[in-house]
Chains A and B, each alone.
Chain A
Amino acid sequence: MLKLSDRTFQSRLFTGTGKFSSNQVMSQAIRASGSQLVTVALKRIDLQQQDDDMLSHLDIPGLSLLPNTSGVRNAEEAVFAARMAREALGTNMIKVEIHPDPRYLLADGEETLKATGELAKDGFIVLPYIQADPVLCKKLEEAGSAAVMPLGSPIGSNKGLQTRDFIRIIIEQSKVPVVVDAGIGAPSQAAEAMEMGADAVLVNTAIAVSDDPVSMARAFSKAVEAGRMAYEAGMGATSGRASATSPLTSFLDS
């Protein structure tokens, strides 16, 4: 069971709401994924409107909303957006996304750290999206983040765990859950992250843009479960070397 602050989750697959061909397809795919946490961009929903179409399609039993701050360019704007989300959506969970670079949507670590500290003090469950930077992850943990969300590769790139070596260090050092976010393009890549010991993965593009988002969501669900099960069972060590026929240390036994 995954714990984020005081919230618990059976499913370790987090999903997103962008890029789907319709809200119906989005809703079906999220149901099929078994996901219990879905991130939604504040800028896409109409907070003034009671019957926002996207939100009504996310009214799924057992599913919690994780609003994100996509669109903000600094800590101050992120804090403002988070408070607005809390008030409008009645949740204290927030995914802090600060990317002043609109082209590759890469996170600003400095501003993210600042916003995380402020929001954690204000009682938020903060999940910051960041580069796979192990030092930044430790600082975020100290600042009160409930989890860290390092990227596997650039958002929407489907390239998998290009940051594998750094993710490994982050997992090894982290006291809070590690959620691999962004860049996961195939179920096998999600499984790999889970086998490495990631606590969860967040997948959006690979599901939304698939020809059959519902089947793809199901495939990811299975991959995440399989990867987690393998991690808990204890993976066999891999070795690149064959064992020598005449051991170098056999003289010690003679």
Chain B
Amino acid sequence: MAFIDQLQSLSWGSIARGIQQKNNSDVMRALSHAGAGSLDDLMALLSPAAEQHLEEMARISQELTLKRFGKTINLYIPLYLSNACINSCVYCGFNHHNRLRRSILTPAETEQEARQIQNMGFGHLLLVTGEHPRKAGFEYLREALRQVREMFSLVSMEVQPMEEEEYRILSREGLNTVYVYQETYRKDHYGRYHPGGPKADFRYRLKTPERLGKAGVHKVGLGVLLGLEDWRTDFFFTGAHLRYLQKHFWRTNYSVSFPRLRPFAGSYQPNFPVSDRQLVQLITALRIFDENVEMALSTRESPHFRDHAFPLGITSMSAGSSTQPGGYSNEAKNLEQFEVADHRSPAEIVSTLEKQGYEAVWKNWDKALQ
């Protein structure tokens, strides 16, 4: 059974109500299962009743994370190849209705950006594009991968969903990880945020991690865009999706990210804003639910939040990010995909990690491994 069929048997409303109804003893039980919880435990950890246990959740989450991942944080950096996009996602700077200068890096420009990044010391590279199958489709990405593959120990992508066979080819040619965020698991509201373009197809997007699993891609990144819908319920579904994938594609490694919409002036306003306290609840709830899953926190978050929240469960962080094509080689400002909140240089991030007794890991894979 595909996950989408499983999803149909779970009603959004009843899960949301179930989470609201969890009480103190449900939370205590979930905490006693720390590291290997059930989906029912996850509901309790995401519930309002868990809020008064936040300090304990943070403590347990930190312990579990230290045990599994030690005092290390993997560093990565995004390389935006293209901001051309035929989607019209209402929350995104790349929305094709937005008037901005679109650019798609040429091989020479990609090379230049990659060299800049390499000089900063990064071994882990994330290639990012908007969705434009004609101008930046599979062949374009394949070529970009070929170009950067030898320069980095690990290459990942956050691009449009592709076919199983395409993933198989990219994986063979050195692609390690693919991030494909569902944005929201609330099917009947998904269309409100994704009114046009291929991304409007909820089903195709939801089935992407399964295609990735079948294609043998090493790691798959999941996540929802926090702020679109009730985060508690959306995260329950993220957990359910994770469990489904772990059972069906047990050779695949998984990572969860926490992109959060912030209520900035002039940008898209979240319907369900997620506070710092609530984001910590999410991070620690997920860790207590699953002690082995990787978790990433990007530069969307402020230095203050990142410095305090990373030891509570996070395993990888971006640093020194630019979210526009060509952003590392020149200063010209296009509209960014989202507002970067942590502008510190990689060196500053490394020294902050060091001060807290953590080692920044620049290389945790090898191009010889595939």
- Which residues of chain A have a CB within 8 Å of any CB of chain B? 18-23, 42-47, 71-73, 77, 80-81, 84, 100-104, 156-158, 205, 208-209
Contact = CB atoms under 8 A, between A and B. Distances in A.
Q: What bracket does the count of chain B residues touching chain A fall in?
A: 20 to 34
Interface stretch (B61-69, B83-91, B265-273, B318-326): B61-69
A77 to B, nearest CB: 7
Interface in B316-370: 354, 357-359, 361, 363-366, 368-370
Looking at chain B's contact residues, the main secondary structure is loop
B38 interface: no
B357 A21 contact: yes
Interface stretch (B16-24, B104-112, B200-208, B248-256): B248-256
A77 B354 CA distance: 34
Contact of B292 (A21, A23, A44, A104): A104
B366 A47 contact: yes
Contacts of A157: 67
Given A20-B359, A22-B354, A43 B364 contact: yes
A23 B253 CA distance: 26
A98 to B, nearest CB: 12
Contacts of B68: 156
A43 B366 contact: yes
Nearest to A84: B368
A158 B69 CA distance: 13
Interface centre among A22, A42, A80, A205 (most CB of B within 10 A): A22
B32 interface: no
Nearest to B252: A102
Contacts of B257: none
Given A46-B363, A101-B250, A101-B251, A20 B368 contact: no
A42 B67 contact: no
Contacts of B218: 102
B252 A22 contact: no
Given A43-B369, A72-B369, A20 B251 contact: no
A102 B70 contact: no
B278 interface: no
Contacts of A42: 366, 368-369
Contact of B67 (A22, A43, A101, A205): A205
B363 A209 contact: no
B71 A20 contact: yes
Contacts of B363: 43-46
Contacts of A73: 251
Interface string B280-295: 0000000000001000
B325 to A, nearest CB: 28
B164 to A, nearest CB: 18
B252 A21 contact: no
A142 B246 CA distance: 35
13 contacts: A18-B72, A19-B70, A20-B359, A21-B70, A21-B357, A42-B368, A42-B369, A44-B364, A71-B365, A100-B250, A156-B67, A156-B68, A209-B67
A77 B370 CA distance: 8
B323 to A, nearest CB: 28
A71 B71 contact: no
Contact of A209 (B71, B219, B251, B368): B71
A84 B251 CA distance: 24
A103 B71 CA distance: 18
Contact of A103 (B123, B246, B357): B246
Contacts of A44: 361, 363-364
B320 to A, nearest CB: 19
Given A22-B354, A43-B363, A71-B365, 7 more contacts: A19-B69, A43-B366, A44-B361, A46-B363, A71-B369, A102-B251, A208-B71
